[in-house]
């Protein structure tokens, strides 16, 4: 069975040759497939015979809403989606002044093993296809009757470990015959998967690269992010510098502040030193508590001190606002809870 929603117009054109169909149908098909339809029957301007043939040979990837939690504090909505094989992924809808942003997952689980993160607790089950990344967005649009304007690839998974599907997704989602979400409105977050950063830089896309740095010294970073043992901070920063040179886009460094781990004056000073010469923005995130570890965020005073120190070194800094605090909106927390509730048992769709 072909994963037809992951196909671009060129690939659809090739597929249509097998059905002796004119090539102009490829674009018609593409528009339907990218719009979030669930069945071939909905394709009103496609001949029924072709719809039937496609149905036999292809599937339309979907993400079915299994649970949905609406925040009472803000308009954040957290989704737990169930995929065709019963796996669960999470996405979040956030409302900002400039429009709707969806945070999508790129893998089921994650292999990166960051010590503070809930997504990596059980490792990675599998990669998501480009169509499953898209399905998260189209399902959320339909559920809220809205158009999403921004995407952050900051949900579960490491997008650059799933490089080919991620690249395919970026091209599909920004296609003007598809969802047409501008690449400038897309952020891709990586734990520092250097080979992927290098590959991505060659595409020279105007997306925002977000790098989860979280520590400026190798010993600290090694202890909280295993990826640092493969690509250390120097290697990562060199890759970021090269990325910046090619794309001329400002890089965003994510820094989750963890009390007693990475919130010292020395850390602030070193963070300023290693980012020197890179046009960047530092996004401080007060660490979210995860029950399986003992990490806690510093108090407000300490966070502000760290921020002010960075500013005094000339850096541009923001502290991330917490959205959806009442609904476990952060990365991996919901899937973890569902796994616990069901204890791995097979769950029937609600
Ligand atoms: N694998 C990618 C994207 C997914 S994680 C990456 O590592 O960037 C999205 C962001 O949430 C990352 O910056 C990650 O480090 C951060 N994060 C994960 N768990 C967190 C926690 N408990 N508190 C604060 N930030 C966390």
Average pLDDT value for the chain: 92
Indicate which residue of 90, 132, 161, 254 is catalytic. Answer: 90
Give the residue, 327 or 109, on which the prediction is more confident: 109
Ligand 1 contact via 288 beta carbon (within 6 Å): yes
Ligand 1 contact via 333 beta carbon (within 6 Å): no
By DSSP bridging, strand 64-70 and strand 280-286 are unpaired
Site to probe by mutation for ligand 1, drawn from 120, 187, 255, 285 as the one with most ligand atoms within 8 Å of Cβ, is: 285
How far is ligand 1, taken at its centre, from the CA of residue 106, in Å?
A: 13
Go through 169-179 and write b for each residue having 16 or more CB atoms within 10 A of its CB, e for each that does not: bbebbbbeebb
Helix/strand/coil (H/E/C) assignment for every residue in 17-69: HHCCCCCHHHHHHHHHHHCCCCCHHHCCCCCHHHHHHHHHHEECCCCEEEEEE
Lowest mean pLDDT among 40-49, 70-79, 174-183: 70-79
pTM: 0.93
Indicate which residue of 117, 240, 267, 331 is catalytic. Answer: 331
Which residues, 6+ apart, have CB-to-CB distance to 83 below 8 Å? 62, 63, 64, 89, 108, 132
Ligand 1 contact via 132 beta carbon (within 6 Å): no
Of 217-231, 278-292, 326-340, the range with the highest mean pLDDT is: 217-231
Contact 220, 262 (CB under 8 A): yes
Straight-line distance from the first to the last Cα atom of the chain, in angstroms, rounded to the nearest whole number: 27
The pLDDT tens digits for 260-299 are 999 999 999 999 999 999 999 999 999 988 877 788 999 9
* Structural domains of the chain sorted by starting position, each given as residue range(s) with its CATH number in brackets: 2-59 (1.10.150.530), 64-342 (3.20.20.70)
Nearest atom of ligand 1 to the alpha carbon of 254:
13
DSSP 3-state assignment of 317? strand
Nearest atom of ligand 1 to the alpha carbon of 289:
22
Lowest mean pLDDT among 44-58, 191-205, 322-336: 322-336
How far is ligand 1, taken at its centre, from the CA of residue 255, in Å?
A: 9
- Smallest CA separation from ligand 1 atom 17, residue: 117
Site to probe by mutation for ligand 1, drawn from 92, 94, 112, 114 as the one with most ligand atoms within 8 Å of Cβ, is: 114
Ligand 1 contact via 213 beta carbon (within 6 Å): no
Q: pLDDT value at position 344?
A: 36
Mean pLDDT within 246-252: 96
90 catalytic residue (yes or no): yes
Residue 327 has pLDDT above 90, yes or no: no
- Smallest CA separation from ligand 1 atom 19, residue: 117
Q: Distance between CA atoms of 77 and 89, rounded to whole angstroms?
A: 14
Q: Distance between CA atoms of 25 and 28, rounded to whole angstroms?
A: 5
Residue 350 has pLDDT above 60, yes or no: no
Mean pLDDT within 322-348: 54
- Smallest CA separation from ligand 1 atom 18, residue: 117
Residue 90 has pLDDT above 90, yes or no: yes
Q: pLDDT value at position 323?
A: 65
Residue 174 has pLDDT above 60, yes or no: yes
Q: pLDDT value at position 337?
A: 59
Q: Distance between CA atoms of 39 and 287, rounded to whole angstroms?
A: 42
The pLDDT tens digits for 42-54 are 999 999 999 999 9
Q: pLDDT exceeding 70 applies to what percent of the chain?
A: 92
Q: pLDDT exceeding 90 applies to what percent of the chain?
A: 84
The pLDDT tens digits for 27-37 are 999 999 999 99
Ligand 1 contact via 188 beta carbon (within 6 Å): no
- Band of pLDDT at residue 150, cut at 50, 70 and 90: very high
How far is ligand 1, taken at its centre, from the CA of residue 36, in Å?
A: 28
- Band of pLDDT at residue 328, cut at 50, 70 and 90: low
Q: pLDDT value at position 349?
A: 32
Tell me how crowded residue 312 is: count the other CB atoms within 10 A of its CB: 10
């Amino acid at each position: 069975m072909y994963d037809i929603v992951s196909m671009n117009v060129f690939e659809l054109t090739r597929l249509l040759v097998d059905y002796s169909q004119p090539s102009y149908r490829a674009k018609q098909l593409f528009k339907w497939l990218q719009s979030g339809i669930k069945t071939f029957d909905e394709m009103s301007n496609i001949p029924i015979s072709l719809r039937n043939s496609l149905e036999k040979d292809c599937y339309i990837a979907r993400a079915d809403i299994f649970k949905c939690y609406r925040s009472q504090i803000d308009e954040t909505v957290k989704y737990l989606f169930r995929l065709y094989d019963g796996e669960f992924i999470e996405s979040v809808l956030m409302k900002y002044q400039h429009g709707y942003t969806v945070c999508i997952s790129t893998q089921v689980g994650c292999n990166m093993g960051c010590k503070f993160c809930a997504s990596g607790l059980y490792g990675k089950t599998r990669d998501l296809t480009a169509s499953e990344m898209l399905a998260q967005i189209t399902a959320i649009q339909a559920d809220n009757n809205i158009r999403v304007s921004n995407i952050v690839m900051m949900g579960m998974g490491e997008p650059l470990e799933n490089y080919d599907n991620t690249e395919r997704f970026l091209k599909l989602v920004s296609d003007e015959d598809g969802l047409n979400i501008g690449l400038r409105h897309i952020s891709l977050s990586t734990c520092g998967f250097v080979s992927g950063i290098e590959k991505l830089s060659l595409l020279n896309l105007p997306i925002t690269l977000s790098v989860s740095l979280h520590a400026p010294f190798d010993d600290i970073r090694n202890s909280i992010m295993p990826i640092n043992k493969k690509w250390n901070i120097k290697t990562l920063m060199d890759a970021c510098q090269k990325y910046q040179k090619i794309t001329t886009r400002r890089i965003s460094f994510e820094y989750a502040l963890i009390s007693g781990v990475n919130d010292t004056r020395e850390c602030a000073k070193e963070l300023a030193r290693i980012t020197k010469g890179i046009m960047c923005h530092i996004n401080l995130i007060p660490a979210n508590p995860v029950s399986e570890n003992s990490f806690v965020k510093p108090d407000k005073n300490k966070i502000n001190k760290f921020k002010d120190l960075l500013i005094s070194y000339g850096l541009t800094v923001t502290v991330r606002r917490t959205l959806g605090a009442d609904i476990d909106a952060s990365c991996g927390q919901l899937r973890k809870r569902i796994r616990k509730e069901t204890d791995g048992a097979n769950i029937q769709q609600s």
